A and B are shown apart, each in its own frame.
Chain A
Amino acid sequence: MPFDRLTRAMDEWAAANPDIPVEIQIGKGDYEPRHAKWVRKLALPDYQARVAGCALFVAHCGMGSIISAIEAGKPILMLPRLQAMGEHNTDHQLATAKHVGVRPGLHVAADADDLKARASALLADTGTAPAPISRFADPAFTLRIRAFIES
């Protein structure tokens, strides 16, 4: 689903910070950035390479983005999608912000203005990055699934 609120905010931030390269994956959004470099959709390996190479990863509050940031050990700044604004089918990203967004290195913005302010602050001082984790889930979990497969 489109998330023009995030695209527009970071395009405005890019206009205010012309020395800092900004690249936005806009998906099916209507708003096409005028200041930042943009792409509709990156191939998954390219997406992962961008996350690994960035100074700050700005994204929606989705688990794919969060896991990618944690795996890469990069700070992530997130704006939750809101159902009322047609940005998702439910408000589960607010729940994710509350339950997962509290981990070190994860940052949640309240709105577009807060997002832009935090982007500047985090680039000046990224603070704690998320502790890099293994590529795989806790072995206790995957062993339990293995037992299910083999039962």
Chain B
Amino acid sequence: MGKRVLAIASGGGHFIQLMRLSPAWDGHAVSIATVDPTSRALVGDAPFFTFRDVSRADWWRIPAATLDIAAILMKVRPQVIITTGALPGLIAATLARPFGCKSLWVDSIANSEVLSGSGGQAGRVCSQVVTQWPHLAADKVEHWGSVL
């Protein structure tokens, strides 16, 4: 049967990196959530959800994004969240944590000199944070590999 997994990412590079990780949840009950409806074509048969995007630059969109993500969480009831960022993945992990859902933050490979803003926060919320750059590995930030 496997675990109920929610794989969630913003658009562009975040989503493309998430798709490159798909073998990780093969055979599990995965749902995919992102911002661009046309991304559906890439996810195969998995249940697919979209939410209104938000970033720190347009923080006033946080309530709308949070509502959408909460609705997705209620439908999927994930046991595990995997996210490649950005802020919406952090919102999902935060909302699901009180319900015993564990979460993995995979910091974007675009962050090659410092962890992303949300990645820095993720340490306080997510069960595990990983960077894709060996030189950014630290106390609680592990390096498991990269999408490239």
Binding site for B on A (CB under 8 A): 1, 43-46, 62-68, 70, 89, 92-93, 95-96, 98-100, 133, 135-146, 148-150
| A-B residue pairs in contact (CB < 8 Å), sample of 27 | A43-B41, A44-B36, A46-B38, A62-B12, A64-B15, A65-B13, A67-B13, A67-B147, A67-B148, A68-B16, A89-B57, A92-B111, A95-B110, A136-B20, A136-B23, A137-B147, A140-B145, A141-B145, A142-B22, A144-B145, A145-B25, A145-B82, A145-B104, A146-B23, A146-B26, A149-B24, A149-B28
Q: Do the beta carbons of B110 and A135 come within 8 Å of each other? A: no
Complex contacts, A150 vs chain B, CB 8 Å: 3
Known contacts being A89-B55, A149-B82, is A67 close to B20, with CB within 8 Å? yes
Complex contacts, A100 vs chain B, CB 8 Å: 109, 112, 148
Looking at chain A's contact residues, the main secondary structure is: helix
Q: Do the beta carbons of A142 and B24 come within 8 Å of each other? A: yes
Name the distance in Å between A69's Cβ and chain B's nearest Cβ: 11
For B128, give its contact among A66, A140, A146, A148 (CB under 8 Å).
Answer: A148
Residue of A nearest to B36 (CB): A44
Give the tally of cross-chain contacts (CB within 8 A): 112
Q: Do the beta carbons of B145 and A64 come within 8 Å of each other? A: no
Q: Do the beta carbons of A67 and B82 come within 8 Å of each other? A: no
Complex contacts, B36 vs chain A, CB 8 Å: 44
Name the distance in Å between B83's Cβ and chain A's nearest Cβ: 11
Chain B count of residues within 8 A CB distance of the other chain: 44
Q: Is B133 an interface residue (CB 8 A)?
A: yes
Complex contacts, A133 vs chain B, CB 8 Å: 148
Q: Do the beta carbons of B112 and A43 come within 8 Å of each other? A: no
For A64, give its contact among B13, B113, B148 (CB under 8 Å).
Answer: B13
Complex CA–CA separation, A142 to B17 (angstroms):
12
Residue of B nearest to A138 (CB): B145
Q: Which of A46, A64, A93, A149 has the most CB of B within 10 A?
A: A149
Name the distance in Å between A49's Cβ and chain B's nearest Cβ: 11
Chain B 14-48, CB-CB to A under 8 Å as 1, else 0, gives 11110111111110100000001011011000000
Q: Do the beta carbons of B38 and A142 come within 8 Å of each other? A: no
